[in-house]
Structure 1
């Protein structure tokens, strides 16, 4: 298989950004915009990850281990709105199974929103989308979740329980996640859309509690701003994007 990253990370970044630019330009006013943008990001991640990990040892993550699901999850606005759509569409069916997903999101948001990465992990509170050890929105999980993979399941369990353990995280997963996520953010910024990273549950709660949050974001507003992560230097990151795309 051809490895586009072998041409250089900056070239790969620019190719991805130009593809995202085209999607935003062509679909911004269409109902499928959010889904199309997320699908493009997820497909780009999965396809390029397969190339980067060809012949490498298999990771231990197969969607059936929630050990890392006590970590802070950050997401772009399109990913947040995709999750909010999932919650709204499945709320009634999940309630019939005894799962109050909006209630879970509100509960975790009440004491975890604004937490740093270390503080969130220290809470050892599972993600609200975990049910019976499985992720309810696994196929729609954000890039942050896709890009966190370990070669050692037992080490992950020990680390999230507070032990000092080397979790042997997959470098290709982290690299591809970073390139795809940054290319998407750069394109959102170029289009005049809010391009920050948000704490997932806090941002989803905001989206669920507003009837027009998604449209306001498409129009250039930032209804998710209260859930923006504090350790996000927009000026520095924006300058990096400008340099890469010059």
Structure 2
């Protein structure tokens, strides 16, 4: 059996943070649609490669159709939201309309709620379609990083709407998410772009209803003004 590589230091070293931020910053020398998509893809690919290089000793319990974590507060940066909107734009009209309807129903129920309050609400993500993530290929970093060693613990947390439930998660996933999220947002800010991370339901709703959202956001227009951000 191949020996497992030691886990990277947590927290990351200043040098690692600087190098990762520089890599992201180089991808968006110009904030074109293509470069923004490359930035998002690079961030998501880096997460997957890091997790693959440092597999946990325990078996991850997550399986297709297991959607307990799809009842939580999720946030995403503007480039991630724009990538999701482009993905949705390629759907057949009836599928797009169904998502818009679910978003419209969820928006008033979730607007302004904290992550803890969202657990208590118990509302499934509007992106779910028959228990599966409809935006899986472009799901945001927070969703990609989330994993659990205990599906039963996740099920109990969802059923009991318990925000304090102890869910055993892979440390490398959480460490990578924190690092990549920080560096992604820092790279955007360094380029004079909006580096905030926005609540997914309201943020995606806003982007979907905004014509030419990519160009307007890149030009500095407040496309997402008023949408809840992570502190």
Matches within 5 A, 1:1-246: 5-6=8-9, 8-25=12-29, 27-29=30-32, 31-53=33-55, 56-92=57-93, 94=95, 100-162=98-160, 165-229=165-229, 231-232=230-231
| SS of 2:113 mapped into structure 1 | coil
Q: Residues of 2 paired with 1:63 and 1:144: CA distance? A: 17
Q: Residues of 1 paired with 2:5 and 2:37: CA distance? A: 27
Q: TM-score, normalised by structure 2?
A: 0.89
Once the 2 structures are TM-superposed, how far is the Cα of residue 137 of structure 1 from its aligned partner?
A: 1.2
Q: Residues of 2 paired with 1:168 and 1:76: CA distance? A: 26
Q: 1:201 to 1:48 in 2, by over 3 A?
A: same
Q: Residues of 2 paired with 1:4 and 1:186: CA distance? A: 24
Q: TM-score, normalised by structure 1?
A: 0.84
Q: Residues of 1 paired with 2:35 and 2:193: CA distance? A: 13
Stretch of structure 1 that moved more, 145-154 or 60-69: 60-69
| SS of 2:226 mapped into structure 1 | helix
Once the 2 structures are TM-superposed, how far is the Cα of residue 20 of structure 1 from its aligned partner?
A: 0.6
Would the aligned equivalents of 1:75 and 1:197 in 2 still touch at CA under 8 Å? Answer: yes
- Aligned-residue Cα RMSD (Å) equals 2.2
* 1:61-89 per-position Cα deviation (integer Å, ceiling 9, x unaligned): 13431011110101111111111112222
* 1:187-222 per-position Cα deviation (integer Å, ceiling 9, x unaligned): 000000001110011011111111032212111233
Aligned residues: 225
Q: Residues of 1 paired with 2:170 and 2:7: CA distance? A: 19
